[in-house]
A = this chain, B = another copy of it.
Amino acid sequence: MKIHILGAASTQFGELWDQSLTDLLQLAINGSIKDAGVEPGEIDAVFVANMAAGLFEQQLHLGPLVSSMFDHQPPAFRLEAACASGGIALIAAQNALLSGSCSTALVVGAEKMTDVNAGRATAILSAAADQSREYGSTFPGLYALFAQAHMNKFGTSRQQLSSVTVKNHRHALDNPQAQFHRELSLDAVSSSALIADPIRLLDCSPISDGASSVILSTKKPNRKVPTIIGRGHAQDSLSLSQRKTLTSIPATTKAAQQALAQAGLSPADIPVAEVHDCFTIAEIMATEDLGFFAEGEGGRAAESNLTTYNGQLVINPSGGLKAAGHPVGATGIKQVAYLSKLLREQKYKYGLTHNVGGTGATAVVHIIKA
């Protein structure tokens, strides 16, 4: 049974002081319904991805909040997997579609992160780590461990990390909804404030508000739309102390292999991908773990412009988490929304999305066909 992506929409990503979580959800939903050309009454299940509205906004139970935006109040589910909440909501929606319990599902993700101060936001984001074993760790600190290990083992350089940011900020100029529309020089990135050695401010994705929505259906539409032809979903330990490697995210490799096998494709068939660049080192590791470049070659690939237009494949045309923004619950859905629009324009035949939770405890990969 085929999963058709009937429509997709994202809100502006950024510091949206005048929009609430509910406003953002409603905007993305309205946009995707309009884009899909379906009647609201055709939506027969709702999947809501959100990491931490309970912590940011004192609001749990988002399923009925979204369901009640429809007169017929379809059954609703809220999924959470830290920064991979969007990815697993997509998987849960496909399970429901393939089970026959619904035939057209709305998947919406949102996060409203700017209503608390930076200290509180940091505390909330660290709630996805396994605090009992990694007390005191922060996300930049954990990704700094990855970066140190990758630099030591493969010679990945400061300049290579910076080249990821420079590329993603340049790509974001094409995405009107990106949080940042500002080109950066390698020097600007390399000399930005040190956060957790070697990670600097401009290696980090930002704190963002935003929402994204896609409408998936097993019903054949009367026009050509992209379809999901492969999906992968893998787990690993929450704590890095339980891992065998600090230079890759094994769950990414596992999820990618599942998704590519299901699609009958190899990494070389993929011309475009939205990958989870919460930090620059994360994009470099992702391009290796997904099979686009050999182990240890991700940094050199970025530096040599193999991951942009006229290179080997385009990584993060939206600007990625770094420049388009990272409203956590929205991210995994925005990746599919953004790529599905590019694929509808027949710019590419296939696309891959890659969404990671925490430091790789959850990884979700999708393959989309134009």
Contacts and interface: CB of A to CB of B under 8 A. Distances in A.
A144 B362 CA distance: 42
A64 B98 contact: no
A61 B235 CA distance: 11
Contacts of A20: 132
Contacts of A126: 58
A17 to B, nearest CB: 16
A327 B12 CA distance: 39
A20 B98 CA distance: 37
A172 interface: no
Oligomer copy total? 2
Contact of A99 (B63, B68, B95, B234): B95
A94 interface: yes
A80 interface: yes
Given A64-B362, A79-B78, A101-B98, A73 B131 contact: no
B64 A236 contact: yes
Contacts of A82: 60-61
A127 B238 contact: no
Contacts of A80: 60-61, 78, 80
Nearest to A67: B235
B99 A130 contact: no
Contacts of A91: 75, 77
Interface of A: 20, 22, 51-52, 54-55, 58-61, 63-65, 67-68, 73-82, 88, 91-92, 94-101, 123, 126-132, 233-238, 242, 357-358, 361-362
Q: Which 3 residue pairs of A and B lie closest in terms of their CB atoms, listed nearest first?
A: A64-B361, A98-B99, A67-B235
